Structure 1
Amino acid sequence: MQSFVSSLLLPFLCITGALAAPAAAPVEIERRAISGDVLAKLSMFEQWAAASYCPNNNNSPNSKVICEAGNCPTVQAADTKTVIEFQNSFATDVTGFVAVDKTNKLVVVSFRGSQSLKNWLANLNFPATLTDICPGCTAHTGFWSSWFESRKRVLAAVESAADANPGFQLVVTGHSLGGAIANFAAAQLRNDGYKCDLYTYGAPRIGNAAISDYISNQPGGTYRVTHTNDPVPHLAPIAFGFVHISPEYYISSGNNVPVTANDVAVYEGNINFRGNTGKLFLDTDAHGWYFNKVGDCGPDFEISKRELELAYV
């Protein structure tokens, strides 16, 4: 029997990106290769996203970033310290941290993916709402509400960390729901004048073409990473007016295998069918593997995975 969450997800999961929408015409650019340097950054910031799933990084500020599951070795080897950690927010349970990495000269904002009922309810709150990111920019209400609930603390922590560490690169990252929230955080920080790079992994579509294109065209590096036939980037549906940021860094290698530069293709456009969106046979395991098992620190990650699986039964 399908669970309550799965029953709610089913109608939206079944409307995949293969449905063309009048809101935005597909834009497809030929494949571009990536360099070894870009690959290394994609891998490192996936580890920063993975670290947000670890409870010890969400409830003990001013501590070193550690992944008990062993899935963030590069991060763990660095000289890191969290500035703030946040979880259990009232409405959306938005969870993550802001940290300083003195080894790599970084200030990192990391948002966790779905791990709680409040997270799932945010995922399902899909009607569009107007944002203050840019004129005419609407967003998925649940994703936007998650950012709105956390942004005052996050912005204050970033300001403090940036002032204390001049010259450090600011990076925002997240996996799944965390990736969706990261889009808005990066957009706001860029609007506030920060030079900010954005890395998302397995993130869903966040809003209309106006907001997606606005974020895509802001100064700073923008890396939307997808993996083979991960189902989550197929949400929210194109048919409901949702599109992705661009470009897409599409990983074609399978689950549980190392990713090489030759396994990653770059595709432009807020709608393109050459990467993840063009995959019709979806695999929930692909959502959990981005360079490593990104959600391994999260005690409830397998529950979330089963919810997705049941939605396709």
Structure 2
Amino acid sequence: MRRVTLQDVAADAGVSRAAASMVVRGTGRLSDQTRERVRQSMEKLGYIYNRNAASLRSNRSWTLGFIVTDFSNPYFSAIALAFEKAASSAGYMTLISNTFDEPEHQDALVTTMLESPVAGLAYVPALGAASVDLPIPTLALTRPAAGERPALSSDAHAAGAMAAEHLAGVHGFRRIAYLGGAAPALPTRERIAGVRAVLARYPDAALAAVVHGQTSIDGGARLAEELLQSGSEFDAVICHSDVIAYGVLRALHDAGLGLGRIGVIGFDSLAASEVFIPSITSVSVGTADLGRLAAEWLIRAVDDATTDPPLPLTPFLDVRESCGCTAPDGRPIPGTA
């Protein structure tokens, strides 16, 4: 359905576009009869500046909803920016909010989104929340509940296996710890399963420890301290996100375990990871791609309810310094995909 323009209103009312614009803005010298005729055309065609009122009249919203758990996580911020850019290029505004990983807050936000109204909703499910069943196109992102569809996420098992294979197969690390991530979250469980599957192929390798915790720099530092204090022997760490890796590397540095002593790999390949010292080797699916694809899928679904579910994104490894990789001359290997 094409969006009603001011020119459409003017043509319907039999006036110039300039005259219709004067009515919208409340300016100009027009007769009461002309103003009323334009208003009737606006009412009939569904044109109005107020988006909520326009939605009620035309039965079409030009707003998409986007809900994540916490925008202080740069991973979600990067996805949101790409989502909003893609939505804007298609003529949509984006209504954005956080659940703080609280199911009750998610329920309230979803209700508000429907009342706004939004034409479609992309969201990162809060842990423990029930599956969302809405009368509008809805897309779960990054960590959908088991079996929930449609959803857009990466192959978490393959991502975990990729990180473990690089550490064990390329560098020869044999006692690898996994730090971060919420224990109940499906991506966390699948990544760890991927790590275990790879390590099982190396007779002398083992998952030395699994420590779940908050996805933040401070959370990463605390997780590393907990690992160090546990007495577990480890020679490499897989971090649930690059943000956790930042804190882990600082804690390892403070403990005298600098670059070359402990291999570290993160997830998400955030922009800051390239300039972090050491730069972070990271498994990624491309945050910009994820946000863009989510918006494009929702927009297609708004126009066609039979849109097929999106395919899982394929992870790739950005190789940098933190895993121990260096070029022959000693310089860090540039990121590769």
- TM-score, length-normalised on structure 1? 0.32
Structure whose alpha-carbon radius of gyration is higher: 2
Give 1 or 2: higher helix fraction.
Answer: 2
Q: Does 1 or 2 have the higher relative contact order (CA < 8 Å, sep 6+)?
A: 1
